Amino acid sequence: MSLVLSHKLCILGLASNTLVKELTIQTEDFDLTVMEYLRANNIPVASSCYGEGICRKCVVKLGEIEELSCLISIKKLLEKKITTISISYL
């Protein structure tokens, strides 16, 4: 028997000041980066370095802290108990 965990994640648009989407994180998402996860759920993430951590265009706000979404995993996000991602251009 395998344990299935799911967690809710709210995507807030700072430009529109709205809840853009409410997503569910599944166990199979844990190894994705936040950028990969957002894109897989049709949330656009800017990038010109293809996730190399160079361009800084993929910045999102996790709580009060800005992070490069290409360098933080979904698993790490859950470890930090982050339930909301704020994106400036949405």
Round to whole Å and give the CA distance between 16 and 85: 14
Question: In this complex, which beta carbon is closest to ligand FES, that of residue 31 or of residue 66?
Answer: 66
The burial class, CB within 10 Å (0-12 / 13-18 / 19+), for 52 is exposed
State the minimum distance, in angstroms, from the CB of residue 72 to ligand FES. Answer: 10
Q: In the complex, which residues of this chain contact ligand FES (CB under 6 A)?
A: 47, 49, 51-58, 68, 70
State the minimum distance, in angstroms, from the CB of residue 3 to ligand FES. Answer: 32
Question: In this complex, which beta carbon is closest to ligand FES, that of residue 25 or of residue 34?
Answer: 34
Round to whole Å and give the CA distance between 69 and 33: 7
